[in-house]
Amino acid sequence: MEPRNGRRPRDEAVSAKEPRRPSNFDELRFKPQKPVQWFSPGVLGASALRVAINATFGEYLDKRELQGSIDAGPLLHHADKDEIWIDYISDTGDGFASTYSVAWLAARERLVVEGSELPRADVVVLGGDEVYPIGGAEAYENRFIGPYEASLPWLPADNPEMYFVAGNHDWYDGLTAFTRSFCQGGWIGARRTRQTRSYFALQLPHRWWLWGLDIQFNSYIDEPQLRYFEHVVGLMREGDRVILCTAVPSWTHAADEKAFYKLGYVEHHLIGGAKAELTLTLSGDSHHYAHYLGDSGGTHKITAGGGGAFLHGTNDLHEHVELHPDKDPQVGSQRFDLGPCYPDRGTSRSLALGAVTLPLKNPSFVAVPAAMYLLLGWSVEFGLRAFPGRLSRLDQSGAAFGWLDGLVGLGRNPVSVLLVLALLGATYGFAKPPDRWMRRKVPAKAAMGVAHTVLHLLVFVTSMWLAVHACRALGLQGAGFTAASLATLTVLGAVLGSLVMGAYLAFCCAVLNAHGNEAFSAMGRMGYKNFLRLHIDAQGVLHVYPLGLRRATKNWRPDPDNTAEASWLAPASEAETPKTHFIEAPFTIEGRKQ
């Protein structure tokens, strides 16, 4: 019986059997998934729980020490080639349409882009976060393995290889599903997997190397991994050149000098110790394209996380970063300047305003502000009933109930006061100040939390005033008046409270350059995809082709009558065929010095 998703044992030839082409979506070996609704209560709760578990028990869940018992060495079988083509694709496995659009492009036998003809890659490197929101066997099948198998189901020979860097979403189960899916040998469609650990080193033609690191969650470099790369260093010669792949672009976290230390250790002590030269560092995690160039001109750091996940903005990126590769103050620093971005910073700032659509893109989120406004309304109504006089009963004095009365009512009993303090604590904890405010992080978080809380309270009181007067106009009294007022308040809270959250995120992202992740995840934009195609030519020169996809294709159709090599799903029409372009002009990096 053939394993699911066409993954065969490591030693079985992929050309032994052509897979049967599906004639409809029901015959696919996976279920295409909708994009993750990041602000749905279920996803928020599950993600928060996973983060908390990893923060508390991360060392106990870490599978990397166990990987030390698995035989592994540098993968040297590419070194004798005359040239090689490599794809770098990161942050896949979200919605099917965007993930498959990129996979479909990467699977073409040849891509013609602005007059340049780029053949299909011999090696595909996945830069991290192969699945969202949480790694698991079923999630990998439906969100990553299935779409990539469908894009390139079979080849008779010259099968490409696929390698994986582990991202934080792959790490949430301690790498269990990641290891089972990608580190045991097998096939993903026509591509074979070869690595046996969550890190790897490839020896490439003309004394180039490609390293894939696993230092996720800002964790230490485990001893087996350190020994592995020390062994690789022993095989290198002075003047070799290195492409380094890591899951997080720590060079963009300029406000936190410690963020770069672990990657800096690899650069300075391992690669530098071998007298090799690090010329290109690649990362995903941030779902955009951003190219930083060292002031010396020969070192590039690129974030290319556009493989399928929701878009991240670029307007919060620093134009210049100063990197210290080691804690030793005697080790010099290097400045990197921001070059082309995708989307560009101005477009990103405009797109950030779309965060106000949060309730449309995450409809289940409305339950959160609805519950919050209902509790506040109940506490205020309870407080008003507890005191004699003009505000003693909402059902009798509703006609005289004013906006200020509702605001004062928030402080008339301990229950409402505690709820307001709880809201303030939640908004304080949620606040993420921009990097330029990090030296005064606590006051900045407090200011953002207070502003966010006040905005919610003003909208709450307005909603309560509207609810009371609407029910009073209908002539309701007694328990019916109270129930109808609170029900109306809950509905208004669901809509207006969600819009307040969206407006807060839009303002912070577009104006303050803060909350970029939250603002863009609230929108779930699937445009501006990107990946890199690299080429080491016969002279040892590295060519970098940054490929962009402005819009993902949403409509696909089964293609049962095509050849065995063709993708199982094709664009529904010629007009919907994914069209790629160069994000910036392709550039070159010279090979080793003679």
Q: What are phi and psi of 265, to 5 degrees?
A: -60, -45
Q: What is the pLDDT of residue 162?
A: 96
Q: Which two tokens stand for residue 229?
A: 């790369």
- Pair (468, 443) in one structural domain: yes
522, 548, 581 - which closes a domain: 522
Mean residue pLDDT across the chain: 86
How many Cβ atoms are within 10 Å of 561's Cβ, its own excluded? Answer: 8
Residue 86: which of 175, 191, 234 has the closest Cα? 191
What is d(CA 528, CA 551) in angstroms, rounded to the nearest whole number?
6
- The mean pLDDT of 268-283, rounded to a whole number, is 90
What is d(CA 329, CA 6) in angstroms, rounded to the nearest whole number?
52
- 482: in domain: yes
Quick one: CA torsion of 50, 53, 56, 59, rounded to 10 degrees? -90
**Contact by Cβ (8 Å): 525, 371:** no
Residue 61: which of 205, 192, 219, 209 has the closest Cα? 219
Q: Residue 401 — pLDDT band, cuts 50, 70, 90?
A: low
Q: Which residues pair with 294 in a beta bridge?
A: 336
End-to-end CA, the chain: 53
Q: What is the pLDDT of residue 298?
A: 78
- Pair (469, 452) in one structural domain: yes
- Pair (538, 517) in one structural domain: no
- Whole domain around residue 414: which residue ranges? 356-522
Q: Is the pLDDT of residue 3 over 60?
A: no
Q: What are phi and psi of 508, to 5 degrees?
A: -60, -40
What is d(CA 161, CA 189) in angstroms, rounded to the nearest whole number?
11
Q: Which residues contact 495 (CB under 8 A, 6 or more apart)?
A: 359, 366
Bridging pattern class, strands 123-126 and 116-119: unpaired
Q: Which residues contact 237 (CB under 8 A, 6 or more apart)?
A: 207, 274, 276
503, 522, 541 - which closes a domain: 522
Q: What is the pLDDT of residue 481?
A: 78
Q: What is the pLDDT of residue 221?
A: 79
Q: What is the pLDDT of residues 437-465, one digit of tens each?
A: 878 899 999 999 999 999 999 999 999 88
**Contact by Cβ (8 Å): 467, 342:** no
Q: What is the pLDDT of residue 5?
A: 40
- Pair (456, 489) in one structural domain: yes
- Pair (302, 437) in one structural domain: no
- 313: in domain: yes
- 4: in domain: no
Q: What are phi and psi of 10, to 5 degrees?
A: -55, -40
Residue 217: which of 257, 179, 173 has the closest Cα? 173
What is d(CA 151, CA 565) in angstroms, rounded to the nearest whole number?
9
- Pair (251, 367) in one structural domain: no
Q: Is the peptide bond before 558 cis (omega within 30 degrees of 0)?
A: no
- 468: in domain: yes
Q: What is the pLDDT of residue 17?
A: 67
What value does the CA radius of gyration of the chain take, rounded to a whole number of Å? 27
Q: What is the pLDDT of residue 390?
A: 42
- The mean pLDDT of 154-165, rounded to a whole number, is 93
What is d(CA 410, CA 288) in angstroms, rounded to the nearest whole number?
43
Q: Is the pLDDT of residue 76 over 80?
A: no
Q: Which two tokens stand for residue 465?
A: 């005033």
What is d(CA 120, CA 547) in angstroms, rounded to the nearest whole number?
13
Q: Which two tokens stand for residue 171?
A: 């790490």
- Pair (42, 77) in one structural domain: yes
Q: The CATH number of the domain where 190 resides is what? A: 3.60.21.10
Q: Which range, of 79-83, 499-503, 590-594, averages the lowest pLDDT? A: 590-594
- Pair (321, 446) in one structural domain: no
- Pair (319, 376) in one structural domain: no
Q: What is the pLDDT of residue 479?
A: 77
- 22: in domain: no
- Pair (286, 424) in one structural domain: no
Q: Is the pLDDT of residue 60 over 60?
A: no
- Pair (339, 365) in one structural domain: no
- 258: in domain: yes
501, 522, 543 - which closes a domain: 522
Q: Is the pLDDT of residue 382 over 70?
A: no
Q: What is the pLDDT of residue 6?
A: 42
Q: Which residues pair with 209 in a beta bridge?
A: 203, 242
Q: Which range, of 127-141, 246-260, 502-516, averages the lowest pLDDT? A: 246-260
- Pair (465, 490) in one structural domain: yes
Q: What is the pLDDT of residues 557-568, one digit of tens each?
A: 999 999 999 999
- 9: in domain: no
- 25: in domain: no
How many Cβ atoms are within 10 Å of 291's Cβ, its own excluded? Answer: 21
HSE at residue 240, side-chain half, CA atoms within 13 A, is 27
**Contact by Cβ (8 Å): 178, 145:** no
How many Cβ atoms are within 10 Å of 25's Cβ, its own excluded? Answer: 13
DSSP characters over 310-354:
PP--STTS-SEEEE-SSS-TTS--EEEEEEEEES-HHHHHHHHGG
Domains: count for the chain: 2
**Contact by Cβ (8 Å): 369, 494:** yes
- The mean pLDDT of 307-328, rounded to a whole number, is 86
